[in-house]
Structure 1
Amino acid sequence: MIEMNPLQKVKKCKTAALLAGALSLQGSAALAAAPESLPDYLPHAVRLPPQASYLDETGAIRIGGAEHAQFIIDRFNALFSASHPGLRFTDHIKGTTATIPLLTYGRMLFGPMGRTINNLELQAYEKAVGAAPLEIRIAHTSDNAQQEMSYSLGIYVNRANPVERMSACQVARIFSNGNPEGDLSRWGQLGVGGEWKERIIHPFGTPEYTGMGTYMQSEQLQGRTFASTYEQWGSTEAILKRLEQDPAGIAFAAIGRESATLKQVVIVSEDGRTETRGSRQDVSSSIYPYGRYVYFYLQRVPGQPLDPVAKEYLRMVLSRQGQQIIASQPDGYIPLTAAEVSTELRKLD
């Protein structure tokens, strides 16, 4: 059994120096301000489990998952290795769809994903392992969909459509079947008059088992099926191109894609007191309903403790220093709040 011997008590100035080194990997990244009052990272000694299956032939730790997390993963690895001499990581990014299969058979320590595990992945994982993987939120998704990252969603209509605002409940009643309050299928049901009153609503979005499709069904539609008139398209570009052709359409797609022909709908609260278009502040405070999360998935075997290296790594990610790394990426992911960090840390106990 290999034992790593980090300093048990690391002064704040020392930890800040390690973080500065991690942030300097690309030279232009500056030390970010602490997102909130979060716990400082004080490294604990960890032991690699004997014959850990996630080590490569050189003894380096494999990490897989979404390519869009590479910026923060590189800096997390640098900070963790600096505080745990002897632990090394190998570049093993394979893509989001490879995360759960690799994790299932212990071929990597954990995997970052810009979406939640879907039902097909979960069924296969549970059949092999006996329980669901541990899901840890590490950040909010970006509000800048121009980057190659996971992002918040926006609700769009054609600029010919007079609708400017709607609630998340109204959006759900348009996109799904079997709503307790009744489904919405004509624009007149949203208070539009004249020639729009009897126009049939045409909802557009991604297929069911894509990241956006899974998110909408699980988080916004409460598991209900998509409306019978729902059209499935493979990307934000294809969805919005279709919407440009149909004044009676409505779509969910990547945030921040307004154009001369399309407008992003303002989302109002059910009591009508707040309005939001998905700013970073509104995503962070959960005012905007279509802000998503970035996740780490860890293998959790029934009757066994979490892998000690994975647990220690997640403690670092959920510390002030770890969240500073997230905040340091220009137009990148949005750090968690103190309350969210506290919730995720409890999952590691």
Structure 2
Amino acid sequence: MKVGLHVLGLAVVITTASCAGPARIAAPDHYKPREQVSGEIRIWGSPADGPLLKDWEAGFMKTQAGVTFSEQLHGPESTMAGVYNGVADLAFMGREMRVPVENMAFEWVYLRKPVSIQVANAGLRAERPSTNLAIFVNRRNPIGQLTLAQLDAILGAEHKRGDANFRHWGDIGVEGPLHDKPINVYGPPVDSIPALFIRHAVLKDSQKWNPDYREFPTDGSDLLDAIAQDPSGIAFAPLSAGNQAVKPVALANDASGPFYPLTERSVSARTYPIGRVITMVLDRAPGKPIDPKVREFLRYILSPDGQAAVARDGAYIPLSTESAQQQLKRLD
């Protein structure tokens, strides 16, 4: 196994060859019904996720012939409304919930929080509402890794992770021509889903962005074209938006490392610090069991059969064995 070590200070970037491959998916046994169920399962979601839902439904009905499905696939902006209006059993989000708008609407209706069950990891290159995000710099920039605290100091202005403003590349130890150059921050609109995710995962929900943050369209291609022309630039975008003049950097939770690049392996193993997940959202009254037919369907999705459908679809990354088992426990 070939290992590359890139040092900035005392921290180490892990770039093993195994990082490129997928992690093991859910538990070794196929789906086995805990009980036979019947009735209609109502799902709201996005048209792009329709083929994956159909695959899950067909596989589930092979052992649960008494179940039928109805779908309303109008897109992620209406998905949660089905659950808090009582006309859907499951909301297949395909992206993070908008906080506070979507969760507050649910809480106003039910006076409790919704339940989210992770059913997959976000992908790397798929054109879906939730795609994992890399941190990009110009290829001429010598930086190869960042901690979340450093990233917070660059992208934000409140710094709940502890560091002060980092506004010049020299603030994070970059020498040479960039040492005194300002860090130019690029990103999608601050009210976009990717920016809301970064605000939660990196800025710890602070709403105070770097005042010089430059907004670009959400597809990422124009954004990274700007980074390609700006040696002082930094941005977050999907890997699919990359080009030869920019490079993604490895990330770590803190300076002790290890630092991980964005790969299918690091996402599945949950070692990439800002990995995203795909969820099914439902209502569950405190102290009450989940509707049996819904619970059995979620058990199927979290089984190797359900996760194999995720792999076939190709947009998302299957859950690891450990992640699937953790979610299964939450169904009881």
- Sort the TM-score into its range (normalised by shorter chain): 0.7 to 0.9
Question: C-alpha deviations, 1:194-245, integer Å up to 9, x for none?
Answer: 4422222121222344321221111222112222222233312342233344
Distance (whole Å) between structure 1 residues aligned to residue 59 and residue 281 of structure 2: 20
Aligned residue for 1:217?
199
Distance (whole Å) between structure 1 residues aligned to residue 244 and residue 36 of structure 2: 57
Distance (whole Å) between structure 2 residues aligned to residue 233 and residue 121 of structure 1: 25
Distance (whole Å) between structure 2 residues aligned to residue 132 and residue 36 of structure 1: 27
Aligned residue for 1:185?
167
Equivalent residue letter for 1:46: V
Aligned residue for 1:333?
316
Query: Looking at CA atoms only, which structure, 1 or 2, has the larger radius of gyration?
Result: 1
Distance (whole Å) between structure 1 residues aligned to residue 90 and residue 188 of structure 2: 27
Q: Once the 2 structures are TM-superposed, how far is the Cα of residue 171 of structure 1 from its aligned partner?
A: 1.5
> Does the residue aligned with 1:348 lie in a helix, a strand or coil?
coil
| 2:296 is aligned with 1:306 | no
Distance (whole Å) between structure 1 residues aligned to residue 241 and residue 284 of structure 2: 39
Contact 1:138 1:318 in 2 (8 A): yes
Distance (whole Å) between structure 1 residues aligned to residue 135 and residue 221 of structure 2: 14
Aligned residue for 1:86?
66
- Counterparts in 2 of 1:97 and 1:149: CA distance versus 1, 3 Å: closer
Aligned residue for 1:318?
302
Give the alignment partner of residue 37 of structure 1, picking from 13, 27, 38: 27
Distance (whole Å) between structure 1 residues aligned to residue 276 and residue 180 of structure 2: 34
| 2:27 is aligned with 1:46 | no
Equivalent residue letter for 1:37: A
| 2:124 is aligned with 1:143 | yes
Runs of at least 4 residues off by over 6 Å? none
Q: Which runs of 5+ in 2 are unaligned?
A: 1-22
Q: Once the 2 structures are TM-superposed, how far is the Cα of residue 314 of structure 1 from its aligned partner?
A: 0.6
Give the alignment partner of residue 78 of structure 2, picking from 98, 108, 114: 98
Contact 2:26 2:324 in 1 (8 A): no
Distance (whole Å) between structure 2 residues aligned to residue 313 and residue 286 of structure 1: 24
Q: Once the 2 structures are TM-superposed, how far is the Cα of residue 144 of structure 1 from its aligned partner?
A: 2.2
- Counterparts in 2 of 1:282 and 1:303: CA distance versus 1, 3 Å: closer
Contact 2:141 2:231 in 1 (8 A): yes
Distance (whole Å) between structure 2 residues aligned to residue 164 and residue 250 of structure 1: 12
Equivalent residue letter for 2:306: G
Q: Which runs of 5+ in 1 are unaligned?
A: 1-32, 49-59
Aligned alpha-carbon RMSD (Å): 2.5
Give the alignment partner of residue 115 of structure 2, picking from 126, 129, 134: 134
Aligned positions of 1:192-207 closer than 5 A: 192-207=174-189
Aligned residue for 2:153?
173
Contact 1:68 1:150 in 2 (8 A): no
| 2:147 is aligned with 1:161 | no
Distance (whole Å) between structure 1 residues aligned to residue 300 and residue 85 of structure 2: 25
> Does the residue aligned with 2:45 lie in a helix, a strand or coil?
coil
Aligned residue for 2:56?
76
> Does the residue aligned with 2:146 lie in a helix, a strand or coil?
strand
Q: Once the 2 structures are TM-superposed, how far is the Cα of residue 280 of structure 1 from its aligned partner?
A: 1.1
Contact 1:167 1:268 in 2 (8 A): yes
> Does the residue aligned with 1:64 lie in a helix, a strand or coil?
strand
Sequence identity percentage: 28
Aligned residue for 1:232?
215
Contact 1:151 1:291 in 2 (8 A): no
Distance (whole Å) between structure 2 residues aligned to residue 320 and residue 224 of structure 1: 38
Give me the TM-score of the superposition, normalised by structure 1: 0.79
Question: How many residues align structurally?
Answer: 305
| 2:328 is aligned with 1:348 | no
Distance (whole Å) between structure 2 residues aligned to residue 273 and residue 121 of structure 1: 35
Question: C-alpha deviations, 1:15-72, integer Å up to 9, x for none?
Answer: xxxxxxxxxxxxxxxxxx9725345321222254xxxxxxxxxxx5431113332232
> Does the residue aligned with 1:326 lie in a helix, a strand or coil?
helix
- Counterparts in 2 of 1:304 and 1:274: CA distance versus 1, 3 Å: closer
Aligned residue for 2:95?
115
Distance (whole Å) between structure 2 residues aligned to residue 249 and residue 230 of structure 1: 11
> Does the residue aligned with 2:313 lie in a helix, a strand or coil?
coil
